[in-house]
Amino acid sequence: MDMIEQIISLALFEDAGLGDITSESILPASRQGTGIIIAKQDCVLAGTQVARKTFCMLDPGMHIQMMYTDGDTVQKGSVVLEATGDLLCMLKGERVALNFLQRLSGIATLTKTYMQALGHSRVRLTDTRKTTPGWRRLEKQAVRAGGGCNHRFSLYDGILIKDNHIAVAGSIAAAVEAVQKQASHLMKIEVEVSDMEQVKQALSAGADVIMLDNMSCKAMAEAVAFINGRAVVEASGNVSLDTLHAIAATGVDVISCGALTHQAQAVDLSMQIHSLPGISNT
């Protein structure tokens, strides 16, 4: 069971693990039903595969027709997905599927807004590790659905040397050297810096990527000019719709932005389910 199935499974368990006492008391066994998920507002979709998987984990025979896929922009009123199958399973999966879809589409929709604010800039907008615990892979896919890019997934698939590492190692150079020795030759080394002095140290230590952390736009522009293509430059901190344009204008290559995930709000989607009287699945 992969991690996405684990989180769906945990979600189904917390909502319906010991049954749905209302529906189980009323529904005849094997009653079939059909349901549609409808967008109640304009949004960019994400999480459609999770929604599908949620229903299929409850009823492997559930037939799901997807009208849209992740990354599509849908208008208010659009039908996103139609499901036909065991009615009890559909009622058990409804809330969980919607809860996933609403939050993930919220992230994709917010990311799209940021991307539109960037306009034709060549800068790469990425997420961070400020994601909902247990949901990282899903939220990173939602960011891509909204047009953004992904930063490292975790602490083990990307190297980022921060102030604590530098303090323990003694210097940026010592930290970079220690990491070069241990890590695979397929990984770039990023160093987080906060002023020009550190930029110089990182560059001469051989950093592949330099993160300018919470620096002013003026200072970032100077750093970009100094680095002059010798390393990838990433801006981090205080990134919002208001500041985005100015940051991009400094010439950095990458802007990483935690708000894409931690400030996203659920978009409105709902499900309409109908019992198919007289039809059972046996």
- Residues with active-site annotation: 95, 130, 162, 192, 213
Whole-number Å distance between alpha carbons of 189 and 253: 15
**What residues from 234 to 263 belong to the interface with a copy of itself (CB under 8 A)?**
234, 253-254, 262-263
CB-based burial, 235-261: b 16+ in 10 Å, e otherwise: bbbebeeeebeebbebbbbbbbbbbbb
Instruction: Tell me whether residue 119 or residue 186 sits nearer to a copy of itself (CB atom).
Output: 186
- Smallest separation, CB 249 to a copy of itself (Å): 19
Of 183-191, 195-203, 222-230, 243-251, the segment contacting a copy of itself by CB under 8 A is: 183-191
Of 1-9, 75-83, 111-119, 198-206, the segment contacting a copy of itself by CB under 8 A is: 1-9
Query: Of 41, 42, 76, 183, which lies in the binding site for a copy of itself, with binding defined by CB under 8 A?
Result: 183
Residue 22 makes contact with a copy of itself by CB under 8 A: yes
Whole-number Å distance between alpha carbons of 268 and 103: 9
Query: Of 74, 108, 143, 159, which lies in the binding site for a copy of itself, with binding defined by CB under 8 A?
Result: 159
What x/- string results for residues 184 through 223 when contact with a copy of itself is judged by CB under 8 A?
xxxxx-x-----------------xx--------------
Other C-beta atoms lying within 10 Å of the C-beta of residue 183: 13
Of 77-85, 164-172, 195-203, 241-249, the segment contacting a copy of itself by CB under 8 A is: 164-172
Query: Of 38, 121, 134, 238, which lies in the binding site for a copy of itself, with binding defined by CB under 8 A?
Result: 134
Cα 217 to Cα 115, 126, 203, 249: the distances in Å are 19, 18, 20, 8
- Using alpha carbons, select from 61, 42, 44, 52 the residue that is nearest to residue 98: 52
Cβ neighbours for 240, distance < 8 A, ≥ 6 positions apart? 259
Residue 34 makes contact with a copy of itself by CB under 8 A: no
What does the angle CA 106 – CA 94 – CA 80 come to, to the nearest 5 degrees? 55
Residue type, 206: G
Instruction: Tell me whether residue 62 or residue 209 sits nearer to a copy of itself (CB atom).
Output: 209
What the block records as the tokens of 209 is: 């990527």
What x/- string results for residues 105 through 124 when contact with a copy of itself is judged by CB under 8 A?
-------------------x
- Smallest separation, CB 25 to a copy of itself (Å): 4
Of 4-12, 36-44, 113-121, 238-246, the segment contacting a copy of itself by CB under 8 A is: 4-12
- Smallest separation, CB 108 to a copy of itself (Å): 15
What x/- string results for residues 60 through 99 when contact with a copy of itself is judged by CB under 8 A?
---------------------------x---xx--xx-xx
Cα 172 to Cα 57, 95, 193, 258: the distances in Å are 49, 49, 9, 25
What the block records as the tokens of 196 is: 């020009």
Cβ neighbours for 139, distance < 8 A, ≥ 6 positions apart? 104, 107, 127, 131, 132, 261
